[in-house]
Amino acid sequence: MRMFTVNKDKNKDFTVLNIADPQIDYELWDGRATSFDTVRFTLGKIIPKVKPDMITMTGDFADEFGRELYDTIITYIDSFGIPWAPVMGNHDHEDGCDPYIVAEMLSETEHCLFEAGDPALGCGHYTVAVEEDGRLVTAFIMMDSHHRKYITDENGKEVRVNVPYSDGQYRWYESQVDALRSIGCEDSTLVVHFPLYEYKYAWEAARRPRDGTSGPSETASRWNAGYEDSLGTNYEPVEPLVEKSPMFEIAKRLGHTKNILCAHDHGNASSIVYEGIRLTYGLKTGSGGYFAGQNGAAVITVGEKGVKSVRYEYVSLDGI
Ligand SMILES: [Fe+2]
């Protein structure tokens, strides 16, 4: 298996910045800036402040396939000179985009850690381990959550569904956990694009609606008992297109993955511990695709025993 390693300094936290859904396009945001400008504006503020040791990217590089768009965003992320590890989003598979063309572009990119892996599983299955003093403190298990497709339902209606995870992917995930355990690593984060179904259950369990009766229906101002360590909020329904899969139950049973990171719902940026696993949405970076008001990036802090915290860095686009 392909395992990349990045180094953590002893006695110093290791900081991971997650870029979510840049999904750049040719649209102007608010009539004044391209979506790529909004990404540059956002990361131009966050990167010097957070000084990440690694960047993850939870997919959807561009809204549609165009070599120029992909080239633009890939070259820009690489320009920070920081190791970065992406997964493919649905847009990197759909609307004429071939993820293997993107994978080829990534393979020629200096600081990018990426491995397409076995094509029977999808595009992009690999692990990045964080090493301190010869010991692996945590690892990021990167998986493809595929794309959406149209099918005709029993009423003859065209409906959009996702391509589900496969048994091969579950076996691959288990093999990563086994391999990490065999070399003494006891902590991992699973990184995918689509939220798992359990994000919906987590949100329903944790959220206390604003003022009980009023305010945006999908936001939370306080959290229910037992969920006080939740953060962020969601501005759109947590209704995963992804069918309920055994992925979460497998992660729970193995007890190795303590964090799951996803993206895709541009208006959602919450982080909730549900049944022992922290389920975190990335925070949308830039205005591309559609913009639902939350902008910035998520920050994951790794200590000597693995991931120790998750937070959001918000950037207002008003100043652009
Ligand atoms: Fe997406």
pLDDT digits (tens, 9 = 90+) for 144-172: 999 988 888 888 988 877 888 999 999 99
Q: What's the mean pLDDT in 311-317? A: 96
**pLDDT tier for residue 1 given thresholds of 50, 70 and 90:** low
- Is 282 within 8 Å of 297 (Cβ atoms)? yes
CATH number of the domain enclosing 52: 3.60.21.10
State the distance from the centre of ligand 1 to the C-alpha of 35, rounded, in angstroms.
16
Q: What is the count of structural domains for the chain? A: 1
State the distance from the centre of ligand 1 to the C-alpha of 193, rounded, in angstroms.
7
State the distance from the centre of ligand 1 to the C-alpha of 277, rounded, in angstroms.
22
State the distance from the centre of ligand 1 to the C-alpha of 265, rounded, in angstroms.
7
State the distance from the centre of ligand 1 to the C-alpha of 91, rounded, in angstroms.
6
State the distance from the centre of ligand 1 to the C-alpha of 47, rounded, in angstroms.
23
Nearest in space to 85 (alpha carbons), one of 6, 25, 26: 6
pLDDT at 31 over 80: yes
CA distance 269 to 298: 9
Q: Please tell me the predicted confidence (pLDDT) of residue 153.
A: 82
State the distance from the centre of ligand 1 to the C-alpha of 131, rounded, in angstroms.
31
pLDDT at 216 over 70: no
State the distance from the centre of ligand 1 to the C-alpha of 78, rounded, in angstroms.
21
Q: Please tell me the predicted confidence (pLDDT) of residue 276.
A: 97
Q: What is the mean pLDDT of the chain?
A: 93
State the distance from the centre of ligand 1 to the C-alpha of 147, rounded, in angstroms.
8
pLDDT at 292 over 70: yes
State the distance from the centre of ligand 1 to the C-alpha of 18, rounded, in angstroms.
15
CA angle, residues 146, 96, 120, in degrees to nearest 5:
35
**pLDDT tier for residue 60 given thresholds of 50, 70 and 90:** very high
Q: Domain residues for 124?
A: 3-319
**pLDDT tier for residue 12 given thresholds of 50, 70 and 90:** very high
**Is the full-model pTM beyond 0.85?**
yes
State the distance from the centre of ligand 1 to the C-alpha of 192, rounded, in angstroms.
10
Q: What's the mean pLDDT in 51-67? A: 95
CA distance 225 to 239: 23
Q: Which of 83-97, 152-166, 244-258 has the lowest mean pLDDT?
A: 152-166
Q: Which of 58-67, 145-154, 300-309 has the lowest mean pLDDT?
A: 145-154
Structure tokens at 53: 């040791």
